[in-house]
C-alpha cells in the first residue's frame, strides 16, 4: 500500500498539490503503520526487524543497548505523533488512543522498575564495564526528541502530568543533560535537555550549557554549514540548523543572545543556497551517512521559520518539503510491515550503519515537525514557488560553490535534476561504506548511488555497433573492479597484483572553482604514515553541461603498470535498451529503461581522450532503487613506469527522466581538445576543451598544489 494524496489543492500548490491537511494525512499514514505493530497500550514501540547483521541490538548486546532500541522507538515515533496529538487529541489507531499511549510510555521510560524503563545515564554507567571515562550512550540522542515532543504537545501531555511525574521526568533528563556526550552534533542534545529543564523551572549548570553552545558555534564553516566530524553531510541541516532554532527559543535568545544571534545568522546564510540543494521536484539527494533519515533533510526550513528573523521563502520551502515527502511516501517499497525500511527507498543494507535499529528511520519524522506551524502560517498559506528553477533559461545550469563545506551543486534546467560534487573527505582506505556515502565524484537526485557490484554479475562488452534490448553479450572475466561514479585502480604487477588488490580513492581534497571548472584531488590508499608522493592520485577537473557533468581529470602516478576504471551512475535494470554510438573518434553507450516505479530513465556515458573502451556490469542487490542494475564503466591501462603516456581522462555522463533521444551534440558535445604539449598527452600546460555550443573550458592544474584543503 502506498500513500495516496488527499485534500489536494493545485491552485495553492501547483507543483505538488499538497496542503496542511495533506501533511496531516501523511503523518497519520506513517503513524498508523507503526501502531499496527503495537499490540496494546502497554507494549513498547519495538518494530518488526528483518536485518540483524548490521543494525543493533545484536543477540549478545548489553542491556543498555537493548533498552536503547525501546527508547529510540518511543521518541522517534513521538516525532510523528506529537504534532498530531496537538491537532487531534482524540486520535485513535489500532484501538489505542495515541495521546494516552505516549503519556503512559514516557513515564514508563523514565521510571526504574517498569518493564519499559530505558535506563538513565548513571544506571548505564554502572553497568558499563569498559572503564571508558568518556562513555556516552544512544539514549542521550533520544532525550532531545523527547523534550521537543513534550513541548509540541505540552497542553495535551506535559501539562497534564502531576508535579511528581514532572519531577521524575526532569530527574531523568537532568542525568543525561549534565553527563558525557559525543563531541559533535550530540552536544545539541544536552543543550536541548537543559533548555527544556530551564524553561520549566528546573536548575541547570549554565557553564556546561555555555561550553556546549560555544563548541557548536565554533564548528561553523560558513554558508550555513557546520563541520560534524571530518566530513560534511545533512547533519548540518537536520541537527545544527533545526536544534539551534529550538534552543534559541527556549534558552538562547534570553540567556545567550550573542550565540543565539549567530545561530540565527547561520540559518539565514543556509537558506540563501539550501533550496538549490534539492531538484525541481524537491527530491533529496542520497548522500552522506544516515541516509535512512531521508527527507529529514528538509527540517532546516522549519528551523529557519522558528527564528525571530526568518528569511526563507515559504512558498519555495513548502514546495521542496512536500516534494521530498512524496519522493518517499509515493514509493511502494518505502514501508516494510508498515514501517519505513532500512534503506533510502526499499530495504538497502549497504546504506545502513551499525548505530541504527529497526526504529531509526522514524528520524525522518523531523520533516513533519512543520505541522506545529499554525494553519494560518505563511508556510501553509503561501503559493508554491519554484525558486531558482523558475528563472533558468533553456538548457541553463546554475552552479553554487561553497568553499567552507566543500560543496558544489548544479541545477540543470534541461532535466530538472540537481547534481552534487563534494570535497574535504577523509575515510580509512578500507572503509568502502564511507566512500560510497561521501567520495562519489557526483551525487544525482534521480540516480542514487550504487555500491560495489556483487553477487549476480555479468561483465560484458558494450554492444558493439548495435542497438540491443536486455542482452548481456559476451563474458569478459579479465575486467577490472568497478564502482559507480568513482575511479578504481589496480596495479598490474607487484604484490598488489598477486593478491588481486584494488582500491578506490578514500580522501578528497578541495581546491575550488575557477572559470567554471571545479578542481579537486583524490588519493588512492591515502594514509598519514606514507608521503603523498608515494601514492597514486587523480587530479579532478569537472564542469557542468546541460544534462550532467563533463570530466577532464589528470592521473598523478608514482608507479605503473596499472589499470583504471570509472563507473557511471548505477542504472535500474527493469528491462534496459542498450545503444552504442561512435563519432569523431569518441564512443558512447546509452541506456534506456525504467526505475522500480516505472518512471522513464536514460543515461548516456561518453568517453573521449585517455580511455580505451566502455563496458558494463550487470548486478543484483547493489542499487537502492531496483533489485537489478547496470553500471557502465570506462577502462584503460598505463604500462610504462616513467613513460610519457596520456595523462588526461576525459568523459561525460548525462541523464534524464525521459526516453526521448539525446541529440548527437548532447552525446558528443566536444568540437576540439587542444593540448599544450605537442605529444597531446596533457603532461604539462593548459588543456582547452571547445564545445559545439561555443563554450570554451580551459583546464589548468598548475599551481593547485598551493591550495588543497581538507
In whole angstroms, what is the distance from residue 441 CA to residue 451 CA?
13
Bridge partners, 586 (sequence order): 583
Amino acid 497: pLDDT? 83
pLDDT of residue 498: 84
The C-alpha cell at 69 is: 532500541
Q: What are the helix and strand counts (H, E) for the chain?
A: 19, 29
pLDDT-based confidence at 476, cuts 50/70/90?
Answer: very low
State the pLDDT confidence band at 693, using cuts at 50, 70 and 90: very high
Average pLDDT for 625-653: 96
Of the chain, the percentage scoring pLDDT greater than 90 comes to 91
| Exposure class string for 551-564: b at 16+ Cβ within 10 A, else e | bbbbbbbeebbbbb
Q: Are 270 and 258 in contact (CB under 8 A)?
A: no
pLDDT tens digits, residue range 337-394? 999 999 999 999 999 999 999 999 999 999 999 999 999 999 999 999 999 999 999 9
Positive/negative CA dihedral, 318, 319, 320, 326 = positive
Confidence class of residue 456 from pLDDT cuts 50, 70 and 90?
Answer: low
DSSP code of residue 475: B
What are the residue boundaries of the structural domains of the chain, listed by start? 20-391, 397-706
For 532-542, the pLDDT digits (tens) are 999 999 999 99
Element (H, E) at 173: helix 163-177
Q: Does residue 63 register a pLDDT over 90?
A: no
- What's the average model confidence in pLDDT over 211-215? 98
Mean pLDDT for the stretch of residues 174-200: 97
The residues with which 399 forms a beta bridge, in sequence order, are: 410
Q: Which helix (H) or strand (E) holds 29?
A: helix 20-35
- Selection from 295, 308, 361 nearest residue 51 by Cα: 361
Q: Work out the angle between the directed axes of helices 98-110 and 163-177 (0-180°, nearest 10).
A: 60
Count of beta carbons in the 10 Å neighbourhood of residue 12: 18
Distances (CA, A) of 460 to 206, 474, 574, 612, 654: 64, 5, 18, 15, 22
Question: Mind listing the pLDDT tens digit for each residue in 527-581?
Answer: 999 999 999 999 999 999 999 999 999 999 988 899 999 999 999 999 999 999 9
Closest CA to 186 of 146, 148, 243: 243
pLDDT in tens, 268-314: 999 999 999 999 999 999 999 999 999 999 999 999 999 999 999 99
At 467, the pLDDT band (50, 70, 90 cuts) reads: low
What's the rounded mean pLDDT across residues 123-132? 89
pLDDT of the residue at 472: 37
pLDDT of 478: 46
- How far is the C-alpha of 587 from the C-alpha of 544, rounded, in Å? 20
> CB burial class (10 A; 0-12, 13-18, 19+) of residue 25?
middle
Q: Worst-scoring range by mean pLDDT, 2-6, 462-466, 681-685?
A: 462-466
Name the grid cell of 374.
499554525
For 305-348, how does the pLDDT look when each residue is reduced to its tens digit (9 = 90+)? 999 999 999 999 999 999 999 999 999 999 999 999 999 999 99
Cell 542482452 appears where? 471
What is the H or E stretch that residue 379 is in? helix 378-381
- Domains 20-391 and 397-706 belong to one CATH topology: no
CA-to-CA distance for 613 and 607, rounded, in angstroms?
8
Lowest mean pLDDT among 17-21, 103-107, 242-246, 637-641: 637-641
**DSSP secondary structure string for all residues of 279-292:** -TT-PPP--SS-GG
CA distance 602 to 386: 24
The three-state (H, E, C) secondary structure of 315-374, written as one string: HHHHHHHHHHHHHHHCCCCCEECCEECCCCCCCCHHHCCCCCCCCHHHHHHHHHHHHHCC
User: Which residues, 6+ apart, have CB-to-CB distance to 145 below 8 Å?
Assistant: 75, 76, 78, 79
3-state secondary structure of 604: strand
Which one is the CATH code of 20-391: 1.50.10.10, 1.10.287.620, 3.10.110.10, 1.10.3720.10? 1.50.10.10
Residue 469: its pLDDT value, please?
Answer: 44
* CA separation for the pair 263, 213 (Å, rounded): 10
Considering all CA atoms of the chain, what is the largest pairwise distance in Å, rounded to the nearest integer?
85
Nearest CA to 175 out of 185, 167, 183 is that of 167
What is the grid cell recorded at 545?
A: 553541461
Q: Are 195 and 247 in contact (CB under 8 A)?
A: yes
Question: Which of 270, 252, 366 lies closest to 311 in space, CA to CA?
Answer: 270
Residues 252, 240: Cα–Cα separation, whole Å: 14
Question: Is residue 475 pLDDT above 60, yes or no?
Answer: no
Q: What's the residue count for the chain?
A: 710
Q: What CA–CA distance (Å, rounded) separates 671 from 684?
A: 21
Q: Which 3-state string (H, E, C) describes 533-580?
A: HHCCEEEEEEEEECCEEEEEEEEECCCCCEEEEEECCCEECCCCEEEE
Q: How many CB atoms lie within 10 A of CB 627?
A: 16
pTM for the model:
0.96
- Segments in 439-521 forming alpha helices (H): 495-498
Assess contact for 669 and 522: CB atoms under 8 A: no
Cis peptide before 390 (omega within 30 of 0): no
- The Cα-based distances of 149 to 90, 155, 246, 267, 275 in angstroms read 17, 11, 12, 22, 26
Helix/strand/coil for 465? coil
Q: Residue 362, Cα to own-chain centre: how many angstroms?
A: 16
The CATH code that applies to domain 397-706 is 2.70.98
Neighbours of 264 (CB within 10 A): 22
Average pLDDT, the chain: 95
Q: How far is residue 290's CA from residue 355's CA, in Å, rounded to a whole number?
A: 9
From 119-133, 213-227, 253-267, 465-479, the region with the lowest mean pLDDT: 465-479
pLDDT of residue 474: 36
Amino acid at each position: 500500500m502506498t500513500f495516496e494524496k488527499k485534500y489536494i489543492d493545485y491552485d495553492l500548490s501547483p507543483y505538488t498539490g499538497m496542503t496542511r491537511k495533506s501533511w496531516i494525512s501523511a503523518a497519520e499514514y506513517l503513524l498508523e503503520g507503526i501502531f499496527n505493530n503495537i499490540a496494546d497500550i502497554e507494549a513498547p514501540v519495538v518494530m518488526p526487524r528483518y536485518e540483524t547483521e548490521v543494525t543493533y541490538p545484536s543477540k549478545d548486546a548489553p542491556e543498555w543497548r537493548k533498552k536503547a532500541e525501546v527508547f529510540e522507538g518511543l521518541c522517534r515515533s513521538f516525532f510523528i505523533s506529537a504534532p498530531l496529538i496537538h491537532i487531534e487529541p482524540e486520535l485513535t489507531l489500532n484501538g489505542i488512543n495515541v495521546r494516552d499511549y505516549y503519556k503512559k510510555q514516557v513515564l514508563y521510560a523514565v521510571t526504574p522498575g517498569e518493564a519499559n524503563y530505558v535506563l538513565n545515564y548513571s544506571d548505564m554507567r554502572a553497568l558499563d564495564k569498559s572503564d571508558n571515562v568518556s562513555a556516552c550512550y544512544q539514549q542521550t540522542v533520544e532525550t532531545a526528541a523527547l523534550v521537543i515532543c513534550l513541548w509540541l504537545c505540552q497542553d495535551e501531555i506535559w501539562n497534564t502530568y502531576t508535579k511528581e511525574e514532572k519531577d521524575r521526568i526532569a530527574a531523568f533528563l537532568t542525568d543525561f543533560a549534565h553527563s558525557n556526550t559525543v563531541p559533535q552534533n550530540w552536544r545539541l542534545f544536552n543543550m536541548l535537555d537543559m533548555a527544556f529543564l530551564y524553561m520549566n523551572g528546573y536548575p541547570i549548570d549554565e557553564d556546561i550549557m555555555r561550553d556546549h553552545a560555544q563548541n557548536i558555534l565554533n564548528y561553523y564553516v560558513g554558508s550555513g554549514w557546520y563541520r560534524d566530524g571530518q566530513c560534511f553531510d545533512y547533519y548540518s541541516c537536520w541537527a545544527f540548523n533545526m536544534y539551534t532554532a529550538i534552543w534559541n527559543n527556549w534558552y538562547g535568545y534570553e540567556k545567550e543572545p550573542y550565540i543565539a544571534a549567530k545561530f540565527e545568522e547561520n540559518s539565514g546564510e543556509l537558506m540563501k543556497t539550501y533550496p538549490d540543494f534539492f531538484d525541481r521536484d524537491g527530491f533529496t539527494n542520497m548522500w552522506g551517512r544516515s541516509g535512512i533519515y531521508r527527507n529529514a533533510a528538509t527540517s532546516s526550513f522549519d528551523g529557519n521559520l522558528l527564528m525571530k528573523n526568518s528569511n526563507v521563502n515559504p512558498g519555495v520551502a513548502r514546495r521542496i518539503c512536500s516534494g521530498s515527502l512524496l519522493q518517499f511516501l509515493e514509493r511502494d517499497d518505502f514501508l516494510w510491515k508498515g514501517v519505513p525500511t532500512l534503506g533510502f527507498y526499499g530495504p538497502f543494507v549497504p546504506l545502513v550503519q551499525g548505530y541504527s535499529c529497526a526504529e531509526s528511520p522514524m528520524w525522518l519524522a523531523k520533516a513533519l515537525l512543520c505541522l506545529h506551524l499554525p494553519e494560518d502560517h505563511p508556510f501553509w498559506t503561501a503559493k508554491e514557488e519554484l525558486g531558482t528553477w523558475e528563472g533558468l533559461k533553456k538548457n541553463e545550469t546554475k552552479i553554487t560553490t561553497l568553499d567552507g563545506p566543500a560543496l558544489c551543486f548544479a541545477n540543470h534546467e534541461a532535466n530538472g535534476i540537481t547534481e552534487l560534487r563534494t570535497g574535504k573527505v577523509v575515510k580509512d582506505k578500507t572503509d568502502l561504506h564511507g566512500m560510497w556515502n561521501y567520495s562519489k565524484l557526483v551525487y544525482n537526485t534521480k540516480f542514487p548511488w550504487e555500491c560495489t557490484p556483487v553477487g549476480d554479475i555479468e561483465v560484458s562488452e558494450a554492444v558493439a555497433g548495435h542497438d540491443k534490448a536486455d542482452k548481456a553479450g559476451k563474458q569478459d572475466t579479465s575486467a577490472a573492479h568497478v564502482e559507480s561514479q568513482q575511479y578504481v585502480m589496480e596495479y598490474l604487477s607487484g604484490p598488489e597484483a598477486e593478491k588481486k588488490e584494488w582500491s578506490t580513492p578514500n580522501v578528497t581534497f578541495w581546491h575550488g572553482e575557477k572559470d567554471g571548472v571545479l578542481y579537486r584531488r583524490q588519493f588512492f590508499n591515502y594514509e598519514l604514515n606514507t608521503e603523498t608522493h608515494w601514492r597514486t592520485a587523480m587530479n579532478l577537473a569537472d564542469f557542468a553541461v546541460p544534462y550532467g557533468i563533463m570530466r577532464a581529470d589528470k592521473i598523478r602516478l608514482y608507479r605503473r603498470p596499472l589499470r583504471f576504471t570509472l563507473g557511471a551512475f548505477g542504472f535500474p535494470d527493469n528491462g534496459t535498451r542498450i545503444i552504442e554510438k561512435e563519432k569523431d573518434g569518441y564512443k558512447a553507450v546509452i541506456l534506456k529503461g525504467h526505475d522500480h516505479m516505472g518512471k522513464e530513465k536514460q543515461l548516456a556515458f561518453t568517453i573521449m581522450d585517455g580511455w580505451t573502451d566502455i563496458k558494463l556490469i550487470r548486478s543484483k542487490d547493489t542499487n537502492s532503487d531496483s533489485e537489478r542494475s547496470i553500471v557502465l564503466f570506462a577502462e584503460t591501462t598505463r604500462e610504462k613506469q616513467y613513460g610519457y603516456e596520456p595523462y588526461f581522462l576525459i568523459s561525460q555522463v548525462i541523464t534524464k527522466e525521459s526516453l526521448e533521444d539525446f541529440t548527437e551534440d548532447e552525446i558528443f558535445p566536444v568540437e576540439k581538445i587542444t593540448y599544450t604539449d605537442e605529444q597531446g598527452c596533457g603532461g604539462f600546460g593548459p588543456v582547452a576543451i571547445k564545445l559545439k555550443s561555443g563554450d570554451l573550458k580551459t583546464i589548468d592544474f598548475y599551481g593547485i598544489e598551493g591550495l588543497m584543503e581538507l
